[in-house]
A and B are shown apart, each in its own frame.
Chain A
Amino acid sequence: MRPRLPAWFRWSLERLLPSRDREYVLGDLEEEYARRLARGAGGRSWLASQLLRAIVHRSRSAAPEPGRSRRRPSFEAVMRDLVQATRNLAGAPGLTAIALVTLALGIGANTAIYTLLDHALLRPLPFPEPDRLVRIYNVRVAGGDDRWNLSYPDYADLRDAAGTLAAVGAWREETPALQIGSEPRATRVDVAAVTADLPAMLAMRPVVGRGLRADDDRIGAAAGTAVISHGLWQDRFAGRESAIGTEIRLDGRPYEVVGVYEEPGATRGGGGMVPAWDVDVWVAYLSSMAEEGHELRGLSNVAVLARMTAGATLGDVAAEVDSVAGALAERYPEFRDDETLRPVPVDDVVRGRSRQALWLLYATVSLVLAIAGANVAHLLVGRNLARRREIAVRLAVGASRWQVLRGILAESMVLAAGGAIGGWAVGWVLLRLLAASDALLLPGLPEAALDLRVLAVTATIALAVGLGFGLVPAWQATRRDPNLALRHDARTGSGSDGFRRALTVAETALALVLLVAAALTLQSLTRVLQADPGFVADDVMTARIQLPMDFVSADWPQAVELFNRLLERLEALPEVESAAAGLWLPVDSGWNNSFELPPGVEPPDDTSGVSARFFPVTPGYFETAGIRLVSGRRFDSTDTSGAPGVVVANRAFARRFFPDREALGQRIGCSNWWRAFEGACEIVGVVDDVRFDGRTEPAAAALYFPHAQQPVREMSLMVKVRPGAGDITARMRAELAALDPSVPLDGIAWLTDLLDEVDGPRRAVVRLLTGFAVLALALAAIGVYGVMAFLVARRTREIGIRMALGAGAAQVRRSVLREGGSLLVVGLAIGGLVAALLSRYLESQLFEVTPHDPVAFAGAAAFLLIVGLAACWVPALRATRVNPALSLRTD
């Protein structure tokens, strides 16, 4: 049996050999194989080596070069290509600079925003098993987005009843004055009063001493139990072990320091959504100042965090807490008539608000990157077109297509590398700026560092875009019959002409989308800033005063007295127009408290319950804050603690609970408050609404009480100064110190600044969006300019002829502008359509502006059209400078 070449070998060789040689080569190989086997030499290794040779031969003969030995693309060749590419690019500095800057801006912006997104939204929260953690809120049975905290009794009942929750913890944050040992000096600290199971839920461990335990969390301990933070331990106790066992006082109330918690892994927690990581002292709830009022079921001031049991789903938990709420409503109908409980995953709570803003920003920078990519593509296409003669010559002289393409590829790669480096720098700067501005209020933001992974991805995208567009015409150029390309023919390359026009239209459309988004949010911001907050913030200095515990006695007369005397002294100052205080400032949201409607009045049957915001204030509050009185009277000195209970309601309250009758004179039940009044409280006045939750939210129902009748230990001071009086902080401190030197004045700020802070995030978004829109506009304008200049240059002959035939300069200019204008208009039309479709995603960011606001659309379109036409202007001028005689000779 004659040995034959194996089938696999034959099959492979057949694939590798040109058809004309197949038979003969295989025949030769058969011969040799037989001979070798007959000799006794090895077969398989010879077959393998022949296969290898066939492969090598095939790769070499891809571009047959008569008379020249072929070189494999070696490392040296690639390096040479890159060096040559760099030289080429350096030879066209303008074009290269534009391309690099464009790429750097697009890549950098993208990288920065994507890093932010990754940090803020995609990484898991720094807690153990964060996806098993939920916040429990009160919500309306009927639905709606409103949610608020629980009361301590409700929390306790939930904790005892819930089977799907492995642990249920609660906390409250306070800011008392800290005194260590017997030193009189007091400083303000952040304190979290927590129930015993909360530290375990957050995996907080003591580094010294012990953490809070279950038996710390009970009423009646002589001194409360405190665990201090690592930061406070270093600052105030010099990190000494002797800190354990010392006594501290928070607002005069004594606590024993039993341990120090370790430094948290992340520096920024959820800003109040989960206990803040920058708490200085942790105290056990029931043995601390928080136990005050803890038995009141109507006082919803406790935040609840729970861990779901393994295997329980969110749906299971939701069903269970809802039924617990139902049982509670049955037992305590006067407190829980219209509310139920709902769990919300911690992730949603922490990130929900910034999520939309971030995705919006990401969409924006993606568009910018698209425009940048299109611009670079423009440049590359133009470049390759201008060089098609050179390419054709090289092909004719014997360069292989692959070699020419390699050269073009090298240029694109050098550009992409340069753009990526520039993008790295731009991204780094942008990230620093965003972190410093603090306006986006994202957890984890300061740590966000530029992610190399992200940079690599965006650079690759940019490279792909640029390469793709650059290679396509190059491929075509190298395929065409070189003779054709060598002839100067205006018609050649009309395919790429249309391509460039299409690119310009696309860029214009994208730029318009961004401009519309910026215009809409800008309009929104303007409306927000113009919206009436319901009070007058000008010239009002604010501060917070918190009285220590020993001021407090059963009737609180000293607290009332202190505040009254302070206000008197302040009003006596020449710079002061009026002074007042209230539990909250008009910019704060405050708490809800439930109350009873008068007999015979039906509660509203909408999604809310019988509760309102709760504001103890001094008589001058409304006047100082510029809140208008609508009917009835304000509080005065007759509304003391012994007098009949009175309240002032706001218009939202009157509209909600007494829509079809007069609110004045109604008596509402307040058995749920600190000072319950027999016979209820009478509504003696109605004031204008204040938008507590920011200018964009509707006003909530609120009840104001005379401070004398509902005293509180902690109030915000408002001092309206005469215009031009300047900073009276020192005077304020002096007056307070004169009354009681142990009470500090905290948190001093102008009311206008506080009002601005509420709008901070919105402003940041608008600023960023506008910035990117302007960038996109600039890039699109460059693109338009480039295309028009190119088209004009190609038409020099035609223009020359027309001018020789008598066309005036103005006519020529107009025709160029018309051509550019028509491109722009098409782009605007497409962009307008796309913007109209996409703008509904902006809705959450808009205030009193519809997503299809015609003014915004028209304004953005007009702006873009003007800039675009301006970009056409220079090429139009150049067109008129064409010397007809010269242009006709161009060839």
Chain B
Amino acid sequence: MGRTPGEFEQLVLLALVRLDEEASYGARIKQEIEIRSGREVFVGAVYTALARLEKGGYVSSRIGEPTAERGGRRKKHYRLEPEGEELLARAYRAYRGMTEGIAEELDELVIRRES
């Protein structure tokens, strides 16, 4: 399998790792990404990415119960599948290798960008 996840897909996969299954639905994933990465995200984009990942077998979904809070609508929960884990692992390994030993310089870049 030679596929690498897109940048946004990576963010979604990482969020899935962090969140437990109950919390792994659109709004919460989006919230995680926004808070941690500083990126503004439209929730629909999250679902689009998840749909693609699901199509490739990297994640799976289950539909939850409707709630009054959501106007009577249901939630869709996602979980990482082994293929997804492997996908993420490869990406992370690559990233870790590439960033080994240059953490300071990278931090510098971030600071400079934010100022």
Q: Is the CB of A28 within 8 A of B52?
A: no
From B50, which residue of chain A is reached at the shortest CB distance?
Answer: A21
Choose, from A48-56, A94-102, A701-709, the stretch at the interface: A48-56
From A24, which residue of chain B is reached at the shortest CB distance?
Answer: B76
Complex interface bits, B44-78 against A, C-beta within 8 A gives 1, otherwise 0: 11011001100000000000000111110111100
Q: Is the CB of A24 within 8 A of B68?
A: no
Docked Cα-Cα span, A28 to B8, in Å, equals 19
Q: Is the CB of B44 within 8 A of A21?
A: yes
Choose, from A66-74, A75-83, A242-250, the stretch at the interface: A66-74
| From B4, B42, B52, B73, residue with most partner A Cβ within 10 Å | B42
Q: Give the contacting residue for A67; candidates B4, B42, B48, B51; CB below 8 A.
A: B4
Q: Give the contacting residue for A54; candidates B4, B40, B42, B51; CB below 8 A.
A: B42
Give the distance to chain B from A10, nearest Cβ to Cβ, in Å.
Answer: 9
Give the distance to chain B from A67, nearest Cβ to Cβ, in Å.
Answer: 5
From B71, which residue of chain A is reached at the shortest CB distance?
Answer: A30
CB neighbors of B among A24-75 (8 A): 24-32, 34, 50, 53-54, 56-58, 61, 64, 66-69
* B-chain residues with CB within 8 Å of residue A829 when the two chains form the complex: none
Docked Cα-Cα span, A57 to B73, in Å, equals 22
* B-chain residues with CB within 8 Å of residue A21 when the two chains form the complex: 44, 47-48, 51
Q: Is the CB of B26 within 8 A of A25?
A: yes
Docked Cα-Cα span, A58 to B48, in Å, equals 10
Docked Cα-Cα span, A28 to B40, in Å, equals 15
Q: Is the CB of B69 within 8 A of A34?
A: yes
Q: Is the CB of B25 within 8 A of A28?
A: yes
Q: Give the contacting residue for B6; candidates A29, A31, A61, A67; CB below 8 A.
A: A67
A5 an interface residue at 8 Å Cβ cutoff?
yes
Docked Cα-Cα span, A31 to B40, in Å, equals 17
* A-chain residues with CB within 8 Å of residue B8 when the two chains form the complex: 69
A23 an interface residue at 8 Å Cβ cutoff?
yes
Query: Known: A54-B44, A56-B42. Is A24-B6 also a contact (CB below 8 A)?
Result: no
* A-chain residues with CB within 8 Å of residue B52 when the two chains form the complex: 64, 66
Query: Known: A53-B42, A56-B42. Is A27-B47 also a contact (CB below 8 A)?
Result: no
From A21, which residue of chain B is reached at the shortest CB distance?
Answer: B47
From B66, which residue of chain A is reached at the shortest CB distance?
Answer: A27
A240 an interface residue at 8 Å Cβ cutoff?
no
A849 an interface residue at 8 Å Cβ cutoff?
no
B30 an interface residue at 8 Å Cβ cutoff?
yes
A20 an interface residue at 8 Å Cβ cutoff?
yes
| From B68, B70, B75, residue with most partner A Cβ within 10 Å | B70
A768 an interface residue at 8 Å Cβ cutoff?
no
CB neighbors of A among B2-45 (8 A): 3-8, 25-27, 30, 40, 42-45
Q: Is the CB of A25 within 8 A of B70?
A: no
Q: Give the contacting residue for B73; candidates A18, A24, A34; CB below 8 A.
A: A24
Give the distance to chain B from A30, nearest Cβ to Cβ, in Å.
Answer: 5
Docked Cα-Cα span, A28 to B69, in Å, equals 9
Docked Cα-Cα span, A53 to B41, in Å, equals 8
* A-chain residues with CB within 8 Å of residue B4 when the two chains form the complex: 67
Q: Is the CB of A24 within 8 A of B71?
A: no
Docked Cα-Cα span, A56 to B43, in Å, equals 12
A755 an interface residue at 8 Å Cβ cutoff?
no
Docked Cα-Cα span, A57 to B76, in Å, equals 20
Q: Is the CB of A57 within 8 A of B71?
A: no
Query: Known: A5-B71, A34-B69. Is A25-B7 also a contact (CB below 8 A)?
Result: no
Q: Is the CB of A30 within 8 A of B73?
A: yes
From A68, which residue of chain B is reached at the shortest CB distance?
Answer: B6
Q: Is the CB of A69 within 8 A of B43?
A: no
* B-chain residues with CB within 8 Å of residue A30 when the two chains form the complex: 69-71, 73
Docked Cα-Cα span, A54 to B47, in Å, equals 12
Residues of A in contact (CB 8 Å), total 31
Q: Give the contacting residue for A28; candidates B3, B6, B26, B48; CB below 8 A.
A: B26
Docked Cα-Cα span, A21 to B26, in Å, equals 10
* B-chain residues with CB within 8 Å of residue A32 when the two chains form the complex: 27, 43
Give the distance to chain A from B10, nearest Cβ to Cβ, in Å.
Answer: 11
Query: Known: A50-B42, A53-B42, A56-B42. Is A67-B73 also a contact (CB below 8 A)?
Result: no
Docked Cα-Cα span, A67 to B43, in Å, equals 19
Docked Cα-Cα span, A627 to B74, in Å, equals 108
A17 an interface residue at 8 Å Cβ cutoff?
yes
Residues of B in contact (CB 8 Å), total 28
A4 an interface residue at 8 Å Cβ cutoff?
yes
A889 an interface residue at 8 Å Cβ cutoff?
no
Query: Known: A24-B25, A66-B52, A69-B7. Is A29-B43 also a contact (CB below 8 A)?
Result: yes
A2 an interface residue at 8 Å Cβ cutoff?
yes
Docked Cα-Cα span, A588 to B1, in Å, equals 98
Q: Is the CB of B73 within 8 A of A27?
A: yes
Q: Give the contacting residue for A27; candidates B3, B44, B48, B74; CB below 8 A.
A: B74
* B-chain residues with CB within 8 Å of residue A57 when the two chains form the complex: 42, 44-45, 48
From B26, which residue of chain A is reached at the shortest CB distance?
Answer: A28
Give the distance to chain A from B58, nearest Cβ to Cβ, in Å.
Answer: 12
From A34, which residue of chain B is reached at the shortest CB distance?
Answer: B69
CB neighbors of B among A178-233 (8 A): none
From B30, which residue of chain A is reached at the shortest CB distance?
Answer: A28
* A-chain residues with CB within 8 Å of residue B40 when the two chains form the complex: 53
Query: Known: A32-B27, A34-B69, A57-B45. Is A24-B51 also a contact (CB below 8 A)?
Result: no
* A-chain residues with CB within 8 Å of residue B6 when the two chains form the complex: 66-69
* A-chain residues with CB within 8 Å of residue B45 when the two chains form the complex: 57
From B41, which residue of chain A is reached at the shortest CB distance?
Answer: A53
* B-chain residues with CB within 8 Å of residue A18 when the two chains form the complex: 48
Query: Known: A32-B27, A68-B6. Is A25-B43 also a contact (CB below 8 A)?
Result: yes
* B-chain residues with CB within 8 Å of residue A50 when the two chains form the complex: 42
Give the distance to chain A from B35, nearest Cβ to Cβ, in Å.
Answer: 13
Give the distance to chain A from B72, nearest Cβ to Cβ, in Å.
Answer: 9
Q: Give the contacting residue for A2; candidates B68, B74, B76; CB below 8 A.
A: B68
Q: Give the contacting residue for A24; candidates B3, B7, B42, B74; CB below 8 A.
A: B74
From A52, which residue of chain B is reached at the shortest CB distance?
Answer: B42
Q: Is the CB of A31 within 8 A of B30?
A: no
From A28, which residue of chain B is reached at the shortest CB distance?
Answer: B27
Docked Cα-Cα span, A393 to B30, in Å, equals 37
From A20, which residue of chain B is reached at the shortest CB distance?
Answer: B51
Q: Is the CB of A4 within 8 A of B7?
A: no
* B-chain residues with CB within 8 Å of residue A31 when the two chains form the complex: 27, 69-70
| From A26, A27, A50, A54, residue with most partner B Cβ within 10 Å | A27
Complex interface bits, A5-27 against B, C-beta within 8 A gives 1, otherwise 0: 10000000000111011011111
Q: Is the CB of A24 within 8 A of B26?
A: yes
| From B25, B27, B69, residue with most partner A Cβ within 10 Å | B27
Give the distance to chain B from A3, nearest Cβ to Cβ, in Å.
Answer: 10
From A60, which residue of chain B is reached at the shortest CB distance?
Answer: B45
| From B6, B52, B71, B74, residue with most partner A Cβ within 10 Å | B71
* A-chain residues with CB within 8 Å of residue B3 when the two chains form the complex: 66-67
CB neighbors of A among B57-102 (8 A): 67-71, 73-76
Docked Cα-Cα span, A750 to B71, in Å, equals 100
Q: Is the CB of B71 within 8 A of A27?
A: yes
* A-chain residues with CB within 8 Å of residue B44 when the two chains form the complex: 16-17, 21, 25, 53-54, 57-58
* A-chain residues with CB within 8 Å of residue B75 when the two chains form the complex: 24, 27
The residues of A with any CB-CB pair to B shorter than 8 Å are 2, 4-5, 16-18, 20-21, 23-32, 34, 50, 53-54, 56-58, 61, 64, 66-69
For this complex, 25 residue pairs linking A to B, each with C-beta atoms less than 8 Å apart, are A16-B44, A18-B48, A20-B51, A21-B47, A21-B48, A21-B51, A23-B73, A23-B74, A24-B47, A24-B73, A25-B43, A25-B44, A25-B47, A26-B73, A27-B70, A27-B73, A27-B74, A30-B71, A31-B69, A31-B70, A53-B40, A54-B42, A56-B42, A64-B48, A69-B8
8 shortest A-B CB distances, which residue pairs? Answer: A27-B73, A27-B70, A28-B27, A53-B42, A21-B47, A28-B26, A24-B76, A30-B71
Supply 9 further A-B pairs (C-beta < 8 A) apart from A5-B71, A27-B73.
Answer: A18-B48, A21-B48, A26-B73, A27-B74, A28-B26, A32-B43, A56-B42, A57-B45, A64-B52
